[in-house]
Amino acid sequence: MIKKDNYSEYVKKKTKNSPLAKNCLWAFLVGGAICTVGQLILNGIKKLGVSPEDAKIWLPIILVFLGALFTGFGLYDSLAKRAGAGTIIPITGFSNSIVSSAMEFKKEGFILGVGAKMFTIAGPVLVYGTMAGVVYGIIRYIVMMIWG
């Protein structure tokens, strides 16, 4: 007998789940492909004579640019529909989240639209990523102080 207290479970049972195996495979392949492209770009930059330290800075700049470009062309979300986490996790996904928000809210103007709402999706990543860095830094400092 379906009642209010067992209704949520009943709904879960009746509703088709996302195809987990297929999604994982796509995420793996596309995420891996993006990272492979990244590696190729890194190797290419180094071949051009850029130092390894500088190359590591250039790489995210290039990948963020590519993420933004494909988002602007309306292609990133088409790939993401299949790839799921494969396009969200790499830094290109971070770029997509900011650029897509900026594009969306341009209609409300540059200040209150683009400026204010650009980070609606990426905000938590920035806040908690920075905070994690701070916490790690404090832990590292204390550890270094104790063990020298």
Partner 1 sequence: MEEKIGQQTLRLNTPVYVISHGNCVSAFEEDGPLKGRFDTVVEDEYFGEKTFELAEVKLQKTAITNALEHAGLKIGDLGLVTGGDLLNQCIASGYSMRDSGVPFVGLYGACSTMALSTCMATLAICSGFTKFAGALTSSHFCSAERQFRYPLEYGGQRPPSAQHTVTGSGAVILSAEKKSKLRVSELTLGRIVDFDVTDINNMGGAMAPAAMDTLTAFFTDTHSKPDDYDLIVTGDLGQYGSDILRDIMRQNGLPLGDNYNDCGLMIYDRERQDAHAGGSGCGCSASVLTSYILPEMELGNLKNVLFMATGALMSPTSVMQNQSIPAIAHLVHFVREDGSL
Q: Which residues bind partner 1 (CB under 8 A)?
A: 1-2, 4, 7-8, 10-12, 14-18, 23, 71-72, 74, 76-77, 79-81, 83-84, 87-88, 93, 96-97, 99-101, 103-105, 107, 121
Q: Which ranges of the chain does DSSP label H, i.e. alpha helix? A: 4-14, 20-47, 52-72, 76-83, 85-88, 91-104, 116-117, 123-147
Query: From the CB of 56, what's the least distance to partner 1, in Å?
Result: 25
Nearer to partner 1, 18 or 49 (CB): 18
Nearer to partner 1, 2 or 139 (CB): 2
Query: From the CB of 31, what's the least distance to partner 1, in Å?
Result: 12
Nearer to partner 1, 56 or 81 (CB): 81
C-alpha to C-alpha distances, 112 to 99, 108, 115, nearest whole angstrom? 15, 6, 6
- Cβ atoms of 101 and 119 within 8 Å: the answer is yes
Nearer to partner 1, 64 or 79 (CB): 79
- The CA distance from 87 to 67, in Å, is 9
Query: From the CB of 110, what's the least distance to partner 1, in Å?
Result: 15
- Cβ atoms of 121 and 98 within 8 Å: the answer is yes
Torsion (CA) 34, 39, 43, 45 in degrees, nearest 10 = 50
Query: From the CB of 120, what's the least distance to partner 1, in Å?
Result: 8
